[in-house]
Amino acid sequence: MNKKTVKDIDLKNKRVLMRVDFNVPMADGKVTDDKRIKAALPTIKYVLEQGASIILMSHLGRPKSASDLTFSLRAASETLSALLATPVKMAPDCVGSEVEKMAKELKAGDVLMLENTRFHAGEEKNDLDLAKQMAALGDVYVNDAFGSAHRAHSSTEGIARFLPAVSGFLMEQELEYLGRAVANPVHPYIAILGGAKISDKILVVETLLSKCDKLIIGGGMANTFLAAQGLNMQDSLVEAESLELAKSIMSKSKGKLILPVDAVIADKFEAEANTQIVDVDKIPAGWRMLDVGPKTLELYKTSLDGVKLVVWNGPVGVFEMPKFAEGTFALARMLAESGAVTVIGGGDSASAVKKAGVAKQMTHVSTGGGASLEFLEGKELPGVAALLDK
């Protein structure tokens, strides 16, 4: 990675302002999944061990006003305090004189959590005044929030203009593993894309096709490709406006595309629908494709034989419903057994490998859905671009 990390700068007696992703699920004022908080611990601990104090900042949800305390980060600060076994002070805001005073009083080893950055409307507009006020709280800036790095916000991009800015370990790991998919990947390299629509993923299809040896397309996306080949997909999700695009991709793909050959079809888009398994050219009227079938899974298995690198983004079926989850889960198990470096984009694919019980067998499961997709598209993420080069 060509960006400086916390290991490249002197942190002793510094006040380290660190952007983390504590956008955690909450219920009844409590954190219900502390995975994201745990993911930030290695960097937090390292910074404290260097003799620094730390000021943490994050967004949480989409608050409409600063008085909406359901979006307060207080509960996250309490969870962090328990995990670190250290008191974590909670600031009333993320900027302002009272917060400045709290920041000034920090001693080496102290931890201060700022209040939700989105309590200020300027945050999402990358307001530089707000960024400057945030920057005034610390001596150096560390970004460990990969999941927010695709957004140029005051706490992810603007702030880096006012302080020496480096990455944390989580960010470093994300860039390292996702980077393997876009820069000099090892071969054979198979990319897998699923999810609902191709219109959302067109750039990533093109970037991956230019790098990989085979591209497996499943999920709703595959329907549009099959329809573009002239198949009648009946009531399946097909994007009529993307048919031409699908044709042009197929003509340029030099035989790299692997599309489903059979399907689990349903008479309704419902968990309790009636189902059948048919070849993709035999979907009866009134039915829709909601998962890939067993012949397609065999095809995946043979394609994955001997693979060295797999990048996966998006489920190959409606995996939220048990009747249409087998394709996605079987694929997750195949990746676990493949012996390849396996890089899983965030969002639905991350939750699919978790639900399939194989998350730990993956080389890397990204913490950022939108950010990993934009990275795989080959875009430079603003929150990463803003960090100091090595």
What positions carry a catalytic annotation? 36, 197, 347, 370
| Per-residue CA distances from 299 to 124, 148, 214, 250, 262 (Å) | 44, 36, 12, 18, 10
Q: Which is nearer to ligand AMP, 347 or 382 (CB)?
A: 347
Nearest to 40 by CA among 175, 167, 179, 180: 167
Among 293, 315, 368, 383, binds ligand AMP (CB under 6 A): 315
For 252: left if phi > 0, alpha if psi spans -120 to 50, otherwise beta; the answer is alpha
Residue nearest ligand AMP, Cβ-based: 195
Among 168, 219, 260, 382, binds ligand AMP (CB under 6 A): 219
Question: Is 37 in contact with 83 (CB distance < 8 Å)?
Answer: yes
Please choose, out of 55-63, 99-107, 122-130, 192-200, the segment that lies near ligand AMP by the rule CB under 6 A: 192-200
Please choose, out of 129-137, 188-196, 242-250, 303-311, the segment that lies near ligand AMP by the rule CB under 6 A: 188-196
Q: Is residue 74 part of the contact set for ligand AMP (CB under 6 A)?
A: no
Q: Is residue 289 part of the contact set for ligand AMP (CB under 6 A)?
A: yes
Question: Is 127 in contact with 158 (CB distance < 8 Å)?
Answer: yes
**Contacts with 282 (C-beta within 8 Å, 6 or more apart), sequence order:** none
Closest distance to ligand AMP from the beta carbon of 314 (Å): 4
Closest distance to ligand AMP from the beta carbon of 292 (Å): 8
Nearest to 332 by CA among 359, 294, 292: 359
Q: Which is nearer to ligand AMP, 137 or 215 (CB)?
A: 215
Q: Is residue 293 part of the contact set for ligand AMP (CB under 6 A)?
A: no
What's the token pair of residue 51?
């003799």
Q: Which is nearer to ligand AMP, 347 or 383 (CB)?
A: 347
Taking CB under 6 A as the criterion, which residues in 230-269 touch ligand AMP?
237
Q: Is residue 127 part of the contact set for ligand AMP (CB under 6 A)?
A: no
The helix, strand and coil proportions of the chain, stated in percent and rounded to the nearest 5, come to 40, 15, 40
Give the separation between CA 284 and CA 232, rounded to whole angstroms. Answer: 9
Closest distance to ligand AMP from the beta carbon of 223 (Å): 6
Q: Which is nearer to ligand AMP, 120 or 201 (CB)?
A: 201
Say how many residues touch ligand AMP, by CB under 6 A: 16
Q: Is residue 350 part of the contact set for ligand AMP (CB under 6 A)?
A: no
Nearest to 202 by CA among 242, 167, 230: 242
CA angle in degrees (0–180, nearest 5) for 111-112-117: 140
The footprint of ligand AMP (CB under 6 A) covers 194-197, 200, 219-220, 237, 289-290, 314-315, 317-318, 320, 348
